[in-house]
Amino acid sequence: MNSYWIESTEVDVNFFTLAENLSCDVCIIGAGLFGLTTAYYLSKKGLNVIVLDKSEIGEKVSGHTTAKITSQHGIIYNYLIQSFGTDIAKKYLFANEEAIKNIKEIVSTENINCDLINQSNYVYTTNNDEIDILKKEVQAVKSLGFNCQFVEKTSLPFEVCGAIMFPNQSSFHPRKYMIGLCNCILNNSGQIFTNTLVYDVKKEDNYYKTITSNHCIKSKYVVLATHYPFINFPGFYFTKMYQETSYIIGIDTKEDFLDGMYITAQAPTYSFRAVKDGNKNILLIGGGNHKTGADNISYNSTYALLEKKAKELYPNCELLYKWNTRDCITLDKVPYIGEFSSLLPNMYVGTGFNKWGMTSSNVAANIVTDNILGIKNKYEKAFTSTRLKPIKNIGEVKNMLKQTASSLVVKKIKIPDSNIQDLKNGDGKIIEIDGNKIGIYKDSSGNMHAVKPTCTHLGCTLSWNNIDKTWDCPCHGSRFDYNGINIYDPAIKNLEIYNL
Ligand code: FES
């Protein structure tokens, strides 16, 4: 079972792999929502853009979302006011509100058929103890000038103690939208190359050279629109972001369409959003979040929780889809958008969308486009990518640094006292042979696959993920298949393989 968004999209555009050296004004690395929206805006302004992606369009994070287009990013506005002040909180809110309007405008101007619908978004609770938190958030949002409402009734198939409703939000089919953007970019004479892995970007005089396996692109501007920046220095984004994995199931409820989009106020997270697919009312239920690469993650602690919830709410439902995704989480809960580093002029970044990439990607595209066009963007101050403000949630910083440090000290990790014969089919783990750590996976036919379980990003020891049969990095969330092939950034190189 794959993502509903991927399985339900017909791609009517042919994309090719980069096969020659080229020059352009702006080279955009990453064809997710941020990269494509930036390419759309810039190509519309007449700039010559080239977009490169190591996979197919919309097959990574942008194609694995719940696709809620909302400025209600959980309970965040009270926190933003307390941490950054009213001005920044207001900029954050209205940048995201404007992003909703921008997306609607693109869909309407370009006639993109992507199932866009208007609906309200809700953060709800079934716990009376959380009502105060919700009421404070309502006050905070209203103080910023946005008219949200506290409500006690929703369309959810269970009672809530209360909810915050944001009106005039939206949802869409993200992959259909992305294919629509691709068509616009191509019509505006932009170029898009898929299955083209970028290894490096080098600054040479007054231009950048973006290097792929066999070719390079020369450009004045570079936009790093990969999920997680793969360039470590300068920038140091790996010290200020980690990744979180979350799970989504799609069920045919066999009941009426659920009106509105919902998420719980506090953990455990449950997210609901419906999609109309012909006669079927598909409900997407999300949750089961954990830090990517965490130990002891099982089917029971992830998908099974969602399946149980689905059966509780819709006893006759049918499970149609299930998938998981990774999101970059910033330590201060605000995305990094703008200049990549003051040492690399004309290189831009948009990352750390904290699970709210539908609007954040549009905010990022507007800020980066304005920067390239030399226009002052009124929201950019809220998202400054090179910010050095004291980080408020210091607990998370310590957590991440501790995890990074302990993972980097490979020799101190305790090796389980086991051997290859003990492994069941379909299982994997790290063992030690002659002083070398070896990551072993025994497939369903009993064949062994062995890798060096050391992340090719910055050397952390990988964890075995028995749900997806992958090696996951606990430090910044890179992921590799059981044959060592890199699937998710920031790592770009494959793992070393052992022959047994
Ligand atoms: Fe950074 Fe693995 S993702 S060390």
Which stretches does DSSP call E strand in 96-237? 117-125, 149-151, 162-171, 191-193, 198-204, 207-212, 216-224
pLDDT above 50 for 467: yes
Note whether 342 and 470 are same-domain residues: no
Give CA–CA dist 445/475, Å, rounded.
32
In a domain, 405, yes or no: no
Q: Which of 143, 122, 99 lies closest to 335 in space, CA to CA?
A: 99
**Which residues approach ligand 1 with their CB closer than 6 A?**
238, 455, 457-460, 473, 475-478, 490-491
CA-to-CA dists, residue 186 to 22, 36, 147, angstroms: 16, 11, 39
Q: By residue range, what is the domain housing residue 449?
A: 410-498
In a domain, 485, yes or no: yes
Mean pLDDT of 388-411: 48
CA-to-CA dists, residue 336 to 59, 160, 495, angstroms: 23, 34, 29
Dihedrals phi, psi of 306, to nearest 5 degrees: -70, -40
Note whether 414 and 381 are same-domain residues: no
Q: Which are the contacts of 290, defined by CB distance < 8 A and separation ≥ 6?
A: 244, 245, 297, 301, 302
> Which ligand 1 atom sits nearest the alpha carbon of residue 458?
4
In a domain, 193, yes or no: yes
Note whether 378 and 483 are same-domain residues: no
Note whether 338 and 487 are same-domain residues: no
| 458 Cα to the center of ligand 1, angstroms | 5
pLDDT of residue 423: 81
Pair type for strands 49-52 and 191-193: parallel
Note whether 379 and 422 are same-domain residues: no
| 366 Cα to the center of ligand 1, angstroms | 29
Note whether 216 and 337 are same-domain residues: yes
Residue 413 confidence class, pLDDT cut points 50, 70, 90? very low
Note whether 367 and 494 are same-domain residues: no
In a domain, 99, yes or no: no
% the chain with pLDDT above 90: 78
Note whether 346 and 492 are same-domain residues: no
Note whether 354 and 476 are same-domain residues: no
CATH number of the domain enclosing 471: 2.102.10.10
CATH number of the domain enclosing 211: 3.50.50.60
Note whether 365 and 480 are same-domain residues: no
Give CA–CA dist 294/302, Å, rounded.
13
pLDDT above 60 for 395: no
In a domain, 322, yes or no: no
pLDDT of residue 142: 98
Give CA–CA dist 217/204, Å, rounded.
12
CA-to-CA dists, residue 478 to 45, 484, 497, angstroms: 35, 11, 17
Q: How many CA atoms within 13 Å lie on the side-chain side of 111?
A: 1
pLDDT of residue 394: 53
In a domain, 316, yes or no: no
Note whether 352 and 227 are same-domain residues: yes
Q: Tell me which of 403, 478, 487 to substitute to probe ligand 1's pocket, judged by most ligand atoms within 8 Å of the beta carbon.
A: 478
In a domain, 251, yes or no: no
Q: Which of 323, 467, 468 lies closest to 4 in space, CA to CA?
A: 323
Count of structural domains within the chain: 2
Mean pLDDT taken over the chain = 91
Q: How many CA atoms within 13 Å lie on the side-chain side of 69?
A: 27
Question: What digits encode the pLDDT tens for the residues 283-341?
Answer: 999 999 999 989 888 999 999 999 999 999 999 999 999 999 999 999 999 999 999 99
Residue 233 confidence class, pLDDT cut points 50, 70, 90? confident
Q: How many CA atoms within 13 Å lie on the side-chain side of 36?
A: 28
In a domain, 129, yes or no: no
> Which ligand 1 atom sits nearest the alpha carbon of residue 474?
2
Q: Is 254:314 a contact under the CB 8 Å cutoff?
A: yes
Note whether 372 and 486 are same-domain residues: no
| 463 Cα to the center of ligand 1, angstroms | 11
**What is the DSSP code (8-state) at residue 387?**
-
Does the predicted model carry a pTM greater than 0.85? yes
| 408 Cα to the center of ligand 1, angstroms | 10
